[in-house]
Amino acid sequence: MSDSIDIINAFALMTNFVILPALSYGSQLALGALAVTLVYSILRFSNFAQGDSMAFGTMIVILLTGFMIGKGWTITGIPTALLVIPIAVIGTSIYMLTMDRLVYRHYRRIKVKQNIVGITASIGVMFITGGIVRFILGASPQRFEDGERFIFSVREFKAFTGLEQGIALKTSQFLTITIAILLVAFLFYFLQKTKTGKAMRAYSDNTELALLSGIDPDKVVQITWLLVAALTTIAGALYGLDKGFAPQQYHLLLLPIFASVIVGGIGSPLGAIAGAFLVSFSEVLLTYAYKKFLIYLLPLSMHPNSLVQLIGTEYKYAISFVILVTVLLIRPTGLLKGKVIDGD
Protein backbone atom coordinates (compact mmCIF):
# COMPACT_ATOMS: atom_id res chain seq x y z
CA MET A 1 0.00 0.00 0.00
CA SER A 2 1.48 3.36 -0.98
CA ASP A 3 1.73 6.25 1.38
CA SER A 4 0.89 8.91 -1.17
CA ILE A 5 -2.61 10.17 -1.97
CA ASP A 6 -4.34 7.82 -4.39
CA ILE A 7 -7.68 9.09 -5.59
CA ILE A 8 -8.26 6.48 -8.28
CA ASN A 9 -7.89 3.53 -5.92
CA ALA A 10 -10.02 5.34 -3.33
CA PHE A 11 -12.74 5.74 -5.94
CA ALA A 12 -12.45 2.10 -7.01
CA LEU A 13 -12.79 1.09 -3.39
CA MET A 14 -15.91 3.23 -2.94
CA THR A 15 -17.42 1.87 -6.15
CA ASN A 16 -16.90 -1.70 -5.06
CA PHE A 17 -18.05 -1.41 -1.47
CA VAL A 18 -20.50 1.49 -1.48
CA ILE A 19 -21.79 2.59 -4.87
CA LEU A 20 -22.56 -0.79 -6.47
CA PRO A 21 -24.06 -2.35 -3.32
CA ALA A 22 -26.14 0.76 -2.60
CA LEU A 23 -27.33 0.98 -6.21
CA SER A 24 -28.51 -2.60 -6.22
CA TYR A 25 -30.00 -2.46 -2.74
CA GLY A 26 -31.69 0.83 -3.69
CA SER A 27 -33.13 -0.75 -6.82
CA GLN A 28 -34.57 -3.63 -4.78
CA LEU A 29 -36.08 -1.19 -2.29
CA ALA A 30 -37.43 0.95 -5.13
CA LEU A 31 -39.39 -1.96 -6.60
CA GLY A 32 -40.82 -2.80 -3.19
CA ALA A 33 -41.59 0.85 -2.53
CA LEU A 34 -43.38 1.14 -5.89
CA ALA A 35 -45.57 -1.81 -4.92
CA VAL A 36 -46.45 -0.06 -1.64
CA THR A 37 -47.14 3.17 -3.56
CA LEU A 38 -49.51 1.44 -5.96
CA VAL A 39 -51.46 -0.19 -3.15
CA TYR A 40 -51.61 3.09 -1.24
CA SER A 41 -52.72 5.17 -4.22
CA ILE A 42 -55.32 2.81 -5.58
CA LEU A 43 -56.45 0.54 -2.74
CA ARG A 44 -55.90 3.33 -0.19
CA PHE A 45 -54.03 1.59 2.56
CA SER A 46 -50.41 1.16 3.62
CA ASN A 47 -49.62 -2.48 2.95
CA PHE A 48 -47.75 -3.85 5.94
CA ALA A 49 -47.59 -7.26 4.29
CA GLN A 50 -45.14 -5.98 1.64
CA GLY A 51 -41.97 -7.50 3.14
CA ASP A 52 -43.54 -10.90 3.76
CA SER A 53 -45.18 -10.85 0.33
CA MET A 54 -41.69 -10.43 -1.11
CA ALA A 55 -40.68 -13.50 0.88
CA PHE A 56 -43.69 -15.35 -0.55
CA GLY A 57 -42.78 -14.48 -4.13
CA THR A 58 -39.16 -15.43 -3.49
CA MET A 59 -40.29 -18.71 -1.97
CA ILE A 60 -42.00 -19.64 -5.23
CA VAL A 61 -38.85 -18.65 -7.11
CA ILE A 62 -36.74 -20.85 -4.82
CA LEU A 63 -39.06 -23.85 -5.14
CA LEU A 64 -39.21 -23.54 -8.92
CA THR A 65 -35.45 -23.01 -9.15
CA GLY A 66 -34.87 -26.21 -7.16
CA PHE A 67 -37.26 -28.07 -9.40
CA MET A 68 -35.62 -26.81 -12.60
CA ILE A 69 -32.11 -27.59 -11.38
CA GLY A 70 -33.29 -31.04 -10.27
CA LYS A 71 -34.55 -31.70 -13.79
CA GLY A 72 -31.40 -30.26 -15.28
CA TRP A 73 -33.42 -27.57 -17.07
CA THR A 74 -30.90 -24.77 -16.78
CA ILE A 75 -29.12 -22.44 -19.16
CA THR A 76 -25.39 -22.07 -18.62
CA GLY A 77 -24.38 -18.71 -17.20
CA ILE A 78 -27.91 -17.52 -16.43
CA PRO A 79 -29.31 -17.84 -12.90
CA THR A 80 -32.18 -20.31 -13.04
CA ALA A 81 -34.14 -18.01 -10.73
CA LEU A 82 -34.36 -15.50 -13.55
CA LEU A 83 -36.02 -18.06 -15.82
CA VAL A 84 -38.73 -18.96 -13.34
CA ILE A 85 -39.66 -15.40 -12.32
CA PRO A 86 -42.57 -15.15 -14.80
CA ILE A 87 -44.19 -18.27 -13.34
CA ALA A 88 -43.53 -17.05 -9.80
CA VAL A 89 -45.22 -13.74 -10.68
CA ILE A 90 -48.31 -15.66 -11.72
CA GLY A 91 -48.23 -17.62 -8.48
CA THR A 92 -47.88 -14.49 -6.37
CA SER A 93 -50.67 -12.81 -8.35
CA ILE A 94 -53.01 -15.67 -7.56
CA TYR A 95 -52.06 -15.46 -3.89
CA MET A 96 -52.63 -11.69 -3.77
CA LEU A 97 -55.93 -11.84 -5.63
CA THR A 98 -57.06 -14.55 -3.23
CA MET A 99 -56.11 -12.41 -0.23
CA ASP A 100 -57.93 -9.49 -1.79
CA ARG A 101 -61.05 -11.58 -2.21
CA LEU A 102 -60.83 -13.06 1.29
CA VAL A 103 -59.72 -10.01 3.26
CA TYR A 104 -59.34 -6.61 1.61
CA ARG A 105 -62.43 -6.53 -0.59
CA HIS A 106 -64.72 -6.73 2.39
CA TYR A 107 -63.15 -3.68 4.03
CA ARG A 108 -62.93 -1.79 0.75
CA ARG A 109 -66.71 -2.09 0.42
CA ILE A 110 -67.36 -0.81 3.92
CA LYS A 111 -65.41 2.33 2.97
CA VAL A 112 -64.68 3.72 6.42
CA LYS A 113 -61.21 4.72 7.61
CA GLN A 114 -59.78 2.83 4.68
CA ASN A 115 -56.14 3.33 5.56
CA ILE A 116 -56.27 2.39 9.23
CA VAL A 117 -58.56 -0.57 8.55
CA GLY A 118 -56.41 -1.66 5.62
CA ILE A 119 -53.23 -1.43 7.70
CA THR A 120 -54.78 -3.59 10.38
CA ALA A 121 -56.00 -6.14 7.85
CA SER A 122 -52.61 -6.18 6.12
CA ILE A 123 -50.85 -6.87 9.43
CA GLY A 124 -52.98 -10.01 9.62
CA VAL A 125 -52.06 -10.91 6.05
CA MET A 126 -48.41 -10.21 6.93
CA PHE A 127 -48.44 -12.81 9.71
CA ILE A 128 -50.29 -15.37 7.60
CA THR A 129 -47.95 -14.89 4.67
CA GLY A 130 -44.83 -15.03 6.84
CA GLY A 131 -46.21 -18.16 8.47
CA ILE A 132 -46.85 -19.86 5.13
CA VAL A 133 -43.30 -19.11 3.99
CA ARG A 134 -41.73 -20.45 7.19
CA PHE A 135 -43.98 -23.50 7.11
CA ILE A 136 -42.96 -24.39 3.57
CA LEU A 137 -39.30 -23.32 3.45
CA GLY A 138 -38.32 -23.18 7.12
CA ALA A 139 -36.89 -20.16 8.85
CA SER A 140 -33.22 -20.67 8.11
CA PRO A 141 -31.36 -18.66 5.48
CA GLN A 142 -30.65 -20.15 2.09
CA ARG A 143 -29.02 -19.26 -1.20
CA PHE A 144 -30.50 -20.05 -4.57
CA GLU A 145 -28.11 -18.36 -6.93
CA ASP A 146 -26.57 -20.54 -9.62
CA GLY A 147 -24.84 -19.79 -12.89
CA GLU A 148 -22.04 -17.28 -13.31
CA ARG A 149 -21.53 -15.32 -10.05
CA PHE A 150 -19.66 -12.40 -11.58
CA ILE A 151 -19.94 -10.33 -14.72
CA PHE A 152 -16.33 -9.49 -13.91
CA SER A 153 -14.43 -10.34 -10.73
CA VAL A 154 -11.96 -8.34 -8.67
CA ARG A 155 -9.11 -10.37 -10.11
CA GLU A 156 -10.21 -9.79 -13.71
CA PHE A 157 -10.68 -6.09 -13.02
CA LYS A 158 -7.23 -5.75 -11.47
CA ALA A 159 -5.58 -7.60 -14.32
CA PHE A 160 -7.41 -5.43 -16.83
CA THR A 161 -6.79 -2.03 -15.23
CA GLY A 162 -3.60 -2.66 -13.24
CA LEU A 163 -5.18 -0.93 -10.23
CA GLU A 164 -4.35 -2.14 -6.75
CA GLN A 165 -8.00 -1.90 -5.68
CA GLY A 166 -10.37 -4.09 -7.62
CA ILE A 167 -14.03 -3.71 -8.53
CA ALA A 168 -16.29 -6.73 -8.96
CA LEU A 169 -19.66 -6.58 -10.66
CA LYS A 170 -21.78 -9.42 -9.34
CA THR A 171 -24.29 -10.98 -11.71
CA SER A 172 -26.98 -10.29 -9.13
CA GLN A 173 -26.05 -6.60 -9.00
CA PHE A 174 -26.00 -6.29 -12.75
CA LEU A 175 -29.35 -8.08 -13.05
CA THR A 176 -30.90 -6.04 -10.27
CA ILE A 177 -30.00 -2.70 -11.77
CA THR A 178 -30.88 -3.68 -15.35
CA ILE A 179 -34.18 -5.33 -14.48
CA ALA A 180 -35.18 -2.50 -12.14
CA ILE A 181 -34.62 0.07 -14.88
CA LEU A 182 -36.63 -1.97 -17.39
CA LEU A 183 -39.45 -2.64 -14.95
CA VAL A 184 -39.71 0.98 -13.82
CA ALA A 185 -39.69 2.14 -17.45
CA PHE A 186 -42.47 -0.32 -18.24
CA LEU A 187 -44.50 0.74 -15.20
CA PHE A 188 -44.26 4.44 -16.01
CA TYR A 189 -45.10 3.80 -19.64
CA PHE A 190 -48.06 1.70 -18.59
CA LEU A 191 -49.42 4.28 -16.14
CA GLN A 192 -48.79 7.30 -18.34
CA LYS A 193 -49.64 6.07 -21.82
CA THR A 194 -52.00 3.11 -21.85
CA LYS A 195 -55.76 3.38 -21.47
CA THR A 196 -55.76 0.93 -18.57
CA GLY A 197 -52.92 2.76 -16.83
CA LYS A 198 -54.70 6.08 -17.20
CA ALA A 199 -57.87 4.52 -15.82
CA MET A 200 -55.88 3.41 -12.77
CA ARG A 201 -54.59 6.95 -12.25
CA ALA A 202 -58.09 8.32 -12.70
CA TYR A 203 -59.41 5.87 -10.12
CA SER A 204 -56.67 6.91 -7.72
CA ASP A 205 -57.31 10.59 -8.37
CA ASN A 206 -61.09 10.68 -8.01
CA THR A 207 -62.77 7.34 -7.49
CA GLU A 208 -66.33 8.58 -7.79
CA LEU A 209 -65.67 10.40 -11.05
CA ALA A 210 -63.89 7.30 -12.36
CA LEU A 211 -67.04 5.29 -11.69
CA LEU A 212 -69.07 8.02 -13.41
CA SER A 213 -66.80 7.67 -16.42
CA GLY A 214 -67.56 3.96 -16.63
CA ILE A 215 -64.23 2.72 -15.27
CA ASP A 216 -64.71 -0.73 -13.73
CA PRO A 217 -63.39 -0.64 -10.14
CA ASP A 218 -62.97 -4.42 -9.91
CA LYS A 219 -60.76 -4.44 -12.97
CA VAL A 220 -58.65 -1.59 -11.61
CA VAL A 221 -58.17 -3.48 -8.36
CA GLN A 222 -57.22 -6.69 -10.15
CA ILE A 223 -54.69 -5.03 -12.41
CA THR A 224 -53.22 -3.25 -9.43
CA TRP A 225 -52.62 -6.57 -7.68
CA LEU A 226 -51.06 -8.03 -10.83
CA LEU A 227 -48.60 -5.13 -11.02
CA VAL A 228 -47.95 -5.32 -7.29
CA ALA A 229 -47.32 -9.07 -7.57
CA ALA A 230 -44.81 -8.54 -10.38
CA LEU A 231 -42.95 -5.78 -8.53
CA THR A 232 -43.01 -7.75 -5.28
CA THR A 233 -41.81 -11.05 -6.71
CA ILE A 234 -39.07 -9.45 -8.77
CA ALA A 235 -37.90 -7.24 -5.89
CA GLY A 236 -37.81 -10.27 -3.58
CA ALA A 237 -36.02 -12.51 -6.06
CA LEU A 238 -33.38 -9.88 -6.84
CA TYR A 239 -32.81 -9.16 -3.16
CA GLY A 240 -32.45 -12.89 -2.50
CA LEU A 241 -30.03 -13.42 -5.38
CA ASP A 242 -27.96 -10.54 -4.03
CA LYS A 243 -28.01 -11.20 -0.30
CA GLY A 244 -29.51 -14.65 0.19
CA PHE A 245 -32.98 -15.52 1.39
CA ALA A 246 -34.13 -15.48 5.01
CA PRO A 247 -37.79 -14.94 5.98
CA GLN A 248 -36.92 -12.70 8.93
CA GLN A 249 -34.71 -10.50 6.77
CA TYR A 250 -37.58 -9.99 4.32
CA HIS A 251 -40.00 -9.25 7.11
CA LEU A 252 -37.68 -6.50 8.35
CA LEU A 253 -37.39 -5.00 4.86
CA LEU A 254 -40.74 -3.39 5.60
CA LEU A 255 -38.98 -0.64 7.53
CA PRO A 256 -36.58 0.60 4.81
CA ILE A 257 -39.35 0.19 2.22
CA PHE A 258 -41.77 2.36 4.21
CA ALA A 259 -39.00 4.84 4.92
CA SER A 260 -38.42 5.09 1.14
CA VAL A 261 -42.10 5.60 0.41
CA ILE A 262 -42.59 8.24 3.07
CA VAL A 263 -39.32 10.09 2.44
CA GLY A 264 -40.21 10.33 -1.24
CA GLY A 265 -43.77 11.47 -0.53
CA ILE A 266 -46.36 8.73 -0.25
CA GLY A 267 -48.39 8.19 -3.38
CA SER A 268 -45.65 9.53 -5.64
CA PRO A 269 -43.93 6.82 -7.73
CA LEU A 270 -40.93 9.00 -8.54
CA GLY A 271 -40.69 9.91 -4.87
CA ALA A 272 -40.64 6.23 -3.93
CA ILE A 273 -37.68 5.63 -6.22
CA ALA A 274 -35.80 8.69 -4.96
CA GLY A 275 -36.58 7.69 -1.38
CA ALA A 276 -35.31 4.16 -1.97
CA PHE A 277 -31.90 5.40 -3.09
CA LEU A 278 -31.72 7.92 -0.27
CA VAL A 279 -32.34 5.13 2.23
CA SER A 280 -29.97 2.65 0.59
CA PHE A 281 -27.12 5.13 0.27
CA SER A 282 -27.65 6.33 3.85
CA GLU A 283 -27.55 2.76 5.10
CA VAL A 284 -24.45 1.78 3.18
CA LEU A 285 -22.56 5.05 3.69
CA LEU A 286 -23.22 5.15 7.43
CA THR A 287 -22.30 1.52 8.08
CA TYR A 288 -19.21 1.44 5.84
CA ALA A 289 -15.79 1.35 7.52
CA TYR A 290 -13.78 4.16 5.97
CA LYS A 291 -10.32 3.18 7.25
CA LYS A 292 -8.92 1.89 3.97
CA PHE A 293 -10.60 4.69 2.01
CA LEU A 294 -8.94 7.32 4.22
CA ILE A 295 -5.58 5.59 3.98
CA TYR A 296 -5.76 6.08 0.21
CA LEU A 297 -6.61 9.74 0.57
CA LEU A 298 -4.65 10.97 3.61
CA PRO A 299 -0.90 11.39 4.13
CA LEU A 300 0.76 8.74 6.28
CA SER A 301 0.83 10.88 9.39
CA MET A 302 -2.96 11.16 9.38
CA HIS A 303 -3.83 7.49 8.73
CA PRO A 304 -6.61 6.35 11.06
CA ASN A 305 -6.13 3.52 13.54
CA SER A 306 -9.78 2.68 14.06
CA LEU A 307 -12.23 1.31 11.46
CA VAL A 308 -13.83 4.75 11.05
CA GLN A 309 -17.28 3.22 10.88
CA LEU A 310 -20.05 5.63 11.87
CA ILE A 311 -22.63 3.01 12.81
CA GLY A 312 -22.33 -0.76 13.25
CA THR A 313 -24.10 -2.82 10.57
CA GLU A 314 -26.28 -4.40 13.25
CA TYR A 315 -27.94 -0.98 13.63
CA LYS A 316 -28.71 -0.51 9.94
CA TYR A 317 -32.48 -0.72 10.47
CA ALA A 318 -32.22 2.12 12.97
CA ILE A 319 -31.07 4.31 10.08
CA SER A 320 -34.33 3.78 8.18
CA PHE A 321 -36.19 4.42 11.38
CA VAL A 322 -34.40 7.70 12.07
CA ILE A 323 -34.94 8.85 8.49
CA LEU A 324 -38.61 7.95 8.79
CA VAL A 325 -39.17 9.81 12.03
CA THR A 326 -37.19 12.85 10.89
CA VAL A 327 -39.20 13.18 7.70
CA LEU A 328 -42.49 12.78 9.51
CA LEU A 329 -41.49 15.50 11.94
CA ILE A 330 -39.99 17.99 9.50
CA ARG A 331 -41.75 17.43 6.20
CA PRO A 332 -44.65 14.97 6.47
CA THR A 333 -45.43 15.26 2.75
CA GLY A 334 -41.99 13.90 1.87
CA LEU A 335 -39.43 15.23 -0.59
CA LEU A 336 -41.67 15.16 -3.64
CA LYS A 337 -44.77 16.42 -1.90
CA GLY A 338 -46.92 13.35 -1.62
CA LYS A 339 -49.90 13.02 0.64
CA VAL A 340 -49.84 13.02 4.41
CA ILE A 341 -50.75 9.60 5.70
CA ASP A 342 -53.97 9.71 7.64
CA GLY A 343 -56.44 7.35 9.21
CA ASP A 344 -59.03 7.70 6.48
Partner 1 sequence: MAYLEGTNLVAAYGVVPILHECSVEVEKGELAVIVGPNGAGKSTVMRVLLGMLEATAGEVKLDGQDISMLSTQERISQGLAFVPQNKNVFPSMTVEENLEMGGFLRLDDINKTIEEVYSLFPILYEKRKQLAEELSGGQRQQVAFGRAMMTQPSVMLLDEPTAGVSPIVMDEIFSNILDVRNAGMAVLMVEQNAQQALNIADKGYVLVSGRNEHTGTGSELINDPEVRKKFLGG
Binding site for partner 1 (CB under 8 A): 195, 198-199, 201-202, 205-206, 208-216
72 or 214: CB nearest partner 1:
214
Q: Which CB atom, from 151 or from 202, has the smaller least distance to partner 1?
A: 202
Nearer to partner 1, 81 or 210 (CB): 210
Q: Closest distance between partner 1 and the C-beta of residue 135, in Å?
A: 41
Taking the complex as a whole, how short is the minimal distance between the CB of residue 71 and partner 1, in angstroms?
46
Q: Which of 245, 252, 286 is nearest to 22 (CA)?
A: 286
Nearer of residues 41 and 282 to partner 1, judged by Cβ: 41
End-to-end CA distance of the chain: 60
| Shortest Cβ 191–partner 1 spacing (Å) | 11
Nearest to 22 by CA among 307, 287, 296: 287
Pick the closer one to partner 1 by CB: 206 or 309: 206
CB proximity list for 272: less than 8 A, separation 6 or greater? 30, 33, 34, 36, 37, 260, 261, 264
What span, in angstroms and rounded, lies between the C-alpha atoms of 37 and 336?
Answer: 13
Contacts 24+ apart (CB under 8 A), 10-15: 10/165, 10/293, 10/296, 10/297, 12/163, 12/165, 12/166, 12/167, 13/165, 13/292, 13/293, 13/296, 14/293, 15/167
How far apart are CB 204 and partner 1 at their closest, in Å? 8
Cα–Cα distance, 5 to 300 (Å, whole number): 9
Please name the residues in contact with 268: beta carbons below 8 A apart, sequence gap of 6 or more: 37, 334, 336, 337, 338
Choose between 196 and 313: whose C-beta lies nearer to partner 1.
Answer: 196
CA torsion angle for 53, 59, 91, 147 (degrees, to 10)?
Answer: 120
The Cα 81–Cα 78 span in angstroms is: 8
In whole angstroms, how close is the CB of 220 to partner 1 at the nearest point?
11
Closest contact distance (angstroms) between CB of 199 and partner 1 is 6
**Least CB distance from residue 336 to partner 1, whole Å?**
13
- Considering beta carbons, is residue 217 or 332 the nearer one to partner 1? 217
Measured between alpha carbons, how far is 46 from 314 in angstroms, rounded to an integer?
Answer: 27
